[in-house]
């Protein structure tokens, strides 16, 4: 399966016993990435219990290669309103065996398209990324996120950049 030819899509996970959910629980990251995203099985379970969140699978062709959580709480991710309808992006993971193939970038595009379709009321995606996680910062910038210059200090792994991606045409912050 090559990222150049793979069709990457995202889909909600509603059934904790589905084959997709089982495949998400088996996803792993490299040991040095664990502190940024934690345990994917835990994150899936926590997301499925939260009525303000959606668990999302990243699928390349027919293989589950990633996971992320959409958080619709009003103060998601940064603990305050952004002044517009937002959705938080949390716990984004591409399995370590599938990294470096462009799946993350393609998943971000698919996620943006999915949000525009299923949640047209949302104006912006917000996420935080650890200041020392240079590969993730670069990946989010390449995927169209904007670094606001603001730092969030609520994370357990240290200060984090606050990044936004507007879902509809909007001036830069």
Provide the 3-class DSSP secondary structure of residue 93.
strand
Q: With a threshold of 0.85, does the pTM exceed it? A: yes
**Region 133-156 average pLDDT:** 86
Q: Is the pLDDT of residue 92 over 50?
A: yes
Segment 28-67, tens digit of pLDDT: 988 877 777 889 999 999 999 999 999 999 999 999 999 9
> Which pLDDT score, from 0 to 100, does residue 99 have?
87
Please, what are the domains in the chain?
Answer: 8-166 (3.40.630.30)
């Amino acid at each position: 399966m090559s990222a150049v030819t793979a069709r990457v899509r995202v889909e909600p996970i509603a059934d904790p016993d589905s084959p997709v959910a089982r495949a998400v629980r088996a996803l792993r990251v490299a040991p040095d990435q664990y502190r940024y995203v934690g345990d994917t099985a835990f994150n899936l379970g926590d997301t499925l219990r939260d009525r303000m969140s959606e668990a999302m699978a990243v699928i390349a062709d027919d293989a589950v290669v990633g996971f992320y959580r959409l958080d619709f709480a009003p103060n998601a991710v940064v603990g305050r309103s952004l002044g517009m309808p937002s959705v938080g992006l949390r716990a984004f993971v591409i399995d370590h065996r599938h990294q470096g193939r462009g799946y993350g970038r393609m998943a971000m595009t698919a996620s943006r398209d999915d949000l525009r379709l299923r949640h047209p009321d949302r104006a912006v995606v917000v996420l935080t990324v650890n200041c020392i996680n240079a590969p993730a910062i670069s990946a989010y910038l390449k995927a169209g996120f904007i670094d606001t210059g603001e730092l969030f200090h609520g994370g357990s792994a240290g200060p984090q950049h606050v990044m936004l991606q507007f879902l509809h045409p909007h001036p830069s912050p």
